[in-house]
Structure 1
Amino acid sequence: MGKHPAKRPAVFIDRDGTLIREKNYLSKIRDVRLIAGAVEALKLLRRAGYALIMVTNQSGIGRGYFTEEQLRKVHLHLSALLKKKGAALDAIYYCPHHPDEDCKCRKPGLGMVNAAKKEFNLDLRRSYAVGDHTNDFLLGQNMGGKGIFVLTGHGRRERKKIESSKGELSPDKTFRNLFAAAKWIARQ
């Protein structure tokens, strides 16, 4: 019997407002714009040994604003762009459901994380979730890892929600962007 590969940690990265510029219900390739420092962040995390998994809530599908085929084209374009820049993702997972649907995959639920854990043999306790919404850092905490909050995208607006929560919403760390978060994660 061969050995099972050792479990490795991952960084679960939000798409809109964290990896690419925020655009409500993005469904067109032309609207994909990387946030400054995102490529460098992915390269740094890859060198540090992390699996790079993008996880994104895409309720525009459930709302009827765009189709899964349109989303697939956007993700193929984004994947090719990152690969060309030497910063390929290991996988992309998305939740297509309307927020009112009772699904297990919508962040901060663990459906996407559990699928990635199974596919990539991940150690969730040594993993991180990074994003510009409370649901992103809550995902990290819900999986038993760390939840990192960034101030890009909706981050500044969401920070007000965190501050007014009187400690009920509390990320493990807050950084100005994905690159700053990646530098910290890579040192852990």
Structure 2
Amino acid sequence: MNKAVFLDRDGVINEVLTQRVRFVNKPSDFYLLPGVGEAIKLMNDLGYNVFVVTNQGGIGLGYMKESALEKVHQKMKDDLKAFGASIDDIAYCPHKPHAGCACRKPKPQMLLDIAERYAIDLAESYMVGDREPDIDAGREAGTKTVLVGNREESSIAASMQFTDLLAFSKWLAGDSI
């Protein structure tokens, strides 16, 4: 069985709800957060499969088409390649919020599907997110959960918390932060 790090996208990998970017609906809206390229490269070097699991309700709401999302994800891969980093696969939920689908986080279906496809040991894996639905999905899938960012929502019960993805990846590598 393989071990993995599942990453939420917006707010973990890239900017969202900042002065520069409100939502990421086209490649020109996509900006890696500081340290993300180095963090994912380190995860790759440590032998973790790295997957992105992201809710993309903008598709269901008509703000973007799946073809535009594919272009955003290609930009993400290209930006990461500059650091020698790579993502093994990307899963996304295109449905509207509150659509009741099985794939939208906080439900764990995206993680479970990837785990089956890639023979992932969920108990030895991590779900990294910046919001409660990410943490809930990881917990329901059976992963360890990691909250990143400086959210004031202290009620989110993750297994661990870090300021950003690079701090978490250094912890994974055994470095002191």
TM-score, with structure 1 as normaliser = 0.86
**Which whole-Å CA distance do the structure 1 matches of 2:126 and 2:174 have between them?**
13
The Cα shift of 1:182 comes to: 1.2
**Structure 2 residue corresponding to 1:11, chosen from 5, 10, 13:** 5
| Deviant stretches of 4+, over 2 Å | 185-188
Larger radius of gyration: 1
Q: Describe the superposition over 1:32-60 as per-residue Cα deviations: whole angstroms up to 9, x where unpaired.
A: 11101101110111111110001110000
Alignment correspondent of 2:88: 90
Alignment correspondent of 2:68: 70
Alignment correspondent of 1:172: 159
TM-score, with structure 2 as normaliser = 0.91
Q: Point out where structure 2 has 5 or more consecutive residues left out of the alignment.
A: none
Count of residue pairs the alignment pairs up: 171
Q: Point out where structure 1 has 5 or more consecutive residues left out of the alignment.
A: 1-6, 164-168
Q: Describe the superposition over 1:4-32 as per-residue Cα deviations: whole angstroms up to 9, x where unpaired.
A: xxx11100011111101114431111111
**Structure 2 residue corresponding to 1:108, chosen from 103, 106, 109:** 106
Alignment correspondent of 1:119: 117
Alignment correspondent of 1:186: 173
One-letter code aligned to 1:10: A
CA RMSD of aligned residues (A): 1.5
SS at structure 2 position matched to 1:92:
strand
Alignment correspondent of 2:31: 33
The question of whether the paired residues in 2 share the 8 Å contact of 1:11 and 1:130 is answered with yes
